Amino acid sequence: MEKMTGISNSGQIEELQNALTQTIEKARHETDDRVKRKLFVQIENYNSRIDKLRSGRLISRQTRRNLVAYSFIAPNFIGFCVFTLIPIVFAFALAFMKWDGSNPISFEGFGNFGRLWSDTFFKAALKNTIIYCIGTVPLTMVASLALAIILNQKVFGRGIFRTLAFFPYVASLVAITSVWKLLFHPSKGPVNNILYTFFHVPQEELPQWFSGSLVVVSMILFSVWKYMGYYMVIYLAGLQGIPGELYEAAALDGAGTWNQFRYITWPQLSSTTFFVVVMLTINCFKIYDVAVMLAGGGSGELTVSATVLVYYIYQKAFIDWDLGYSSAIAMVLFLMVLVVTIIQFRGQARKEAA
């Protein structure tokens, strides 16, 4: 019996091996990528079958391969799972609970979400966050695109300019906001001083950069300044992917700079722009430290005109200890991000289909 299997095995193996060598030969000479990939799958298939027959091992080749793959993922995944995934599941559950972090949890259902609509501070936070997004996203996009286009040309000192543009992104918020606050100090700062001396803005009308309706404007200005270097790099990468021939052809046709931009650069960059807009929006929703450090003063408290969603999440969680409610607000934030992400996926899918 044993011998029989052995014989039939060796016959099978030989057969398979022949097929394998043929396929490898074929693959070597194949030029079409798609066919080639199919052949590779076949090779793997043969390999695994031969392997299984030869060794008669308990663990199949596929299982072994799975294990190898998991061993690659494990170090990161374990940390990721414990410190990110589990808390996220927990956060979802908390949104439907009432808990102060110490006493027993009670089930709240959708009560937390019901409270949102009558909460003045939540509405103010939501409104400010959205206004901030609407202001920051287009401005940053335009500024970073313009900068990228300029820096993609052969200009003198290009490297230095690129580095400079990235400085604000690299600088720490605590340090850089402290400078901004002095620069825009309502009564002593250089900016208002210039407005006063050179533009003769009367003293009472000097802008109060960090209070009232101007807070959000300051936040927007600051964010554009700080983050445009980052998005510029992304646009630069996108620009470098546009084939030069397109421009050469356009130049031969006599297209001016503007037309070149309109008919080549902009359409070619559409996927980059899409990505930039989505990333920007998501990051804008998450705004917290910019608001606290620019408008929070020493104690870091934000008034109705400067409060943002994440600040309110933090306050409800770590000051009022209303963890369920805080998670419910976080869910609103998550939903907003989710909507933007879905739009991105849809857009990408459409682009790929086209």
Partner 1 sequence: MRSARKRAILGKVIVYLLLIIIAAAMITPFLWMFSAAIKSDREVFKMNPFVFIPKVPKWSNYLDIWTRIPFAKFVENTVFLTIVVTILQLLTSSFAAYSFAKLRFRYRNGLFLAYIATIAMPWQVYMVPQFILMRKMGLNDKLLAIICLQAFSAFGVFLMKQFYESIPDDLCEAARIDGLSEYQIYRKIMLPLSKPALATLIIFTFVNTWNDYLGPLIYLKTQEKKTIQLGLKMFISQYSSDYGLIMAGSMLSLIPVLIVFLCFQNYFVEGVANTGLKG
Partner 2 sequence: MKKRIISLMMSAVLASMLAGCAAAAPAPAPAPAAEPAAEEAAAPEEAPAAEETAEADAGEPVTLKWAIWDESTTQYWGDIKAAYEAKNPNVKIEMVDLGSQDYMTVLATELSGSGSDFDVVTIKDVPGYATLVQKNAIIPLDDYISADGVDLSKYAGATDQVVVDGKLYELPFRNDFWVLFYNKDIFDAAGVDYPTNDMTWDEYDALARKVTDTSFGSQIYGAHYHTWRSTVQLCAVLDGKHTILDGNYDFMKPTYEMVLNQEKDGVCRKYTDLKTEGLHYSAAFSGGDVAMLNMGSWFIATMMTNLASGEYDPSLCGNWGIVKYPHAEGVEPGSTLGTITGLSVTTACDTPDAAWDFVKWVSGEEGAAVMASSGNFPAIMTDEVKAAITSLEGFPTDDASKEALNVSNLYLEVPYAANVSEINSILDSYHGSIMTGEMSIDEGIDAMNKEVSALQ
For residue 305, give both structure tokens.
């005109």
| 97 counts as binding partner 1 under rule CB under 8 A | no
Least Cβ distance, residue 331 to partner 1 (angstroms) = 7
209 binds, among partner 2, partner 1, none (CB under 5 to 8 A by kind): partner 2
Q: Which of residues 191-230 bind partner 1 (CB under 8 A)?
A: 193-194, 197, 225, 229
Rounded-to-integer distance, Cα 285 and Cα 258, Å = 33
The binder of partner 2 chosen from 46, 122, 132, 209 (CB under 8 A): 209
Q: Please say which residue, 16 or 219, places its beta carbon nearer to partner 2.
A: 219
CA distance 231 to 233: 5
Using the minimum distance from each CB to partner 2, give the nearer residue, 97 or 232.
97
- Told to check if 168 binds partner 1 by CB under 8 A, we report yes
Partner whose footprint covers residue 330, from partner 2, partner 1, none (CB < 5 to 8 Å by kind): partner 1
CA atoms within 13 A on the CB side of 272: 22
181 is an interface residue for partner 2 by CB under 8 A? yes
Which residue from 14, 100, 248, 253 is in contact with partner 2, where contact means CB under 8 A? 100
Given the structure tokens 């030029």, which residue do they identify?
31
Instruction: Give yes or no for a contact between 182 and 193, defined as CB atoms under 8 angstroms apart.
Output: no
Nearest to 337 by CA among 189, 129, 89: 129
Stretch that binds partner 1, among 5-13, 104-112, 119-127, 273-281 (CB under 8 A): 273-281
Does residue 126 belong to the site contacting partner 2 (CB under 8 A)?
Answer: no
Binding partner of residue 190 among partner 2, partner 1, none, CB cut-off 5 to 8 Å per kind: partner 1
SS3 call for 269:
coil
235 forms part of the interface with partner 1 (CB under 8 A): yes
Q: What angle (nearest 5°) sits at the alpha carbon of residue 9, between those of residues 4 and 12?
A: 130
Among 94, 143, 151, 239, binds partner 2 (CB under 8 A): 94
Binding residue (CB under 8 A) for partner 1 from 6, 79, 114, 212? 79
Q: How many residues bind partner 2 (CB under 8 A)?
A: 46
For helices 2-29 and 33-55, give the axis angle rounded to 10 degrees.
160
Helix ranges (DSSP H) in the chain: 2-29, 33-55, 61-80, 86-94, 111-116, 120-152, 158-170, 173-183, 190-198, 214-240, 244-252, 257-260, 266-268, 270-285, 289-295, 309-318, 323-353
Binding site for partner 2 (CB under 8 A): 86, 89-90, 92-94, 96-97, 100-103, 105, 107, 109, 118, 120-121, 181-182, 184-188, 208-213, 297-305, 307, 315, 318-321
